[in-house]
């Protein structure tokens, strides 16, 4: 028995041809065509490398997705450990390890009679513990201080809007004491104290608790600056804008003027690093 195969040669402007094949030839022809198709599909696949993760990693990710999909809120209780293990098909030890990771991130905490509950993570807690100059490179230190420069210049609008007469009086008092203190010319520690007090007050005036904590987080950086300055052979550069100048601008000027003067005040500090 013969079979007629009709095919089209596209390269020759649709040149149709017929070919007589035996049964064996027909199957051979089919297998060859299937092989070509398989080869073309294989070449077109874009495979990603297999990422090897532990069971605890997978459970941690699954739990995070579970919390998001089910809209868990702060104070909500999570399912019991044994229930999670049965649902996920893993041992309780694996679930326990995944939960301990979430606890370290501040996402969950253990409470009596309620078990594991959702809590609001402390965003700056982990960063604060790592804010140690001995653990950070000089470039990282400069990057962090540059971030401070950006924040303090950027919060000028908040300061102008939220300032009070009492705030201005307190800032003037700090700036006046600094200007009259003879120790400022000789003691880096004294100068640093006034620097922290003045800028700490500015952060507090914003009414933004995260900004205030950020200033507290930067205290080790200020100490590092003091250490750097103590080894300078010459007097460190000083800006043209003093703390009292900033108070005057904040009291009578615009947000744009305060931004400009704040940048002029802080840039020399950044240059010291």
pLDDT, tens only, 36-69: 555 554 555 555 565 567 888 999 999 999 999 9
Q: Quick check: 192 and 222 in contact, CB under 8 A?
A: yes
Q: What is the pLDDT of residues 215-237, one digit of tens each?
A: 888 888 777 766 776 666 555 55
- Record the pTM: 0.65
More confident residue, 271 or 205: 205
pLDDT at 29 over 70: no
Cα separation, 5 vs 19, in Å, equals 5
| Domain 127-272 -> CATH class | mainly alpha
Residue 269 has which token pair?
Answer: 């500090």
* CATH number of the domain located at residue range(s) 55-118 in this protein: 1.10.10.10
Q: How confident is the model at residue 255 (pLDDT cuts 50, 70, 90)?
A: very high
């Amino acid at each position: 028995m013969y079979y007629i195969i009709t095919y089209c040669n596209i390269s020759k402007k649709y040149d149709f041809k017929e070919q007589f094949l035996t049964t064996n030839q027909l199957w051979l022809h089919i297998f060859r065509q299937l092989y070509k198709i398989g080869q073309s599909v294989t070449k077109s696949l874009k495979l990603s490398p297999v990422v090897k993760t532990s069971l605890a990693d997978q459970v941690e990710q699954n739990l995070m997705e579970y919390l998001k999909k089910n809209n868990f809120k702060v104070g909500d209780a999570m399912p019991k450990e044994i229930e999670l293990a049965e649902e996920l098909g893993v041992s309780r030890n694996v679930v326990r390890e995944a939960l301990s990771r979430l606890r370290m991130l501040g996402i969950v905490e253990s409470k009596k009679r309620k078990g594991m509950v959702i809590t609001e993570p402390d965003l700056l807690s982990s960063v604060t513990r790592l804010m140690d100059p001995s653990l950070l490179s000089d470039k990282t230190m400069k990057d962090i201080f540059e971030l401070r420069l950006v924040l303090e210049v950027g919060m000028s609008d908040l300061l102008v809007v939220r300032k009070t007469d009492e705030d201005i009086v307190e800032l003037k008092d700090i700036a006046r004491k600094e200007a009259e203190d003879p120790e400022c010319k000789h003691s880096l520690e004294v100068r640093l104290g006034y620097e922290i007090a003045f800028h700490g007050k500015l952060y507090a005036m914003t009414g933004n608790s995260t900004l205030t904590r950020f200033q507290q987080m930067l205290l080790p950086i200020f100490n590092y600056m003091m250490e750097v300055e103590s080894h300078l052979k010459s007097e460190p550069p000083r800006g043209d804008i003093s703390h009292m100048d900033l108070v005057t601008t904040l009291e009578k000027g615009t947000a744009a003027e305060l931004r400009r003067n704040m940048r002029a005040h802080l840039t020399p500090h950044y240059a010291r690093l």
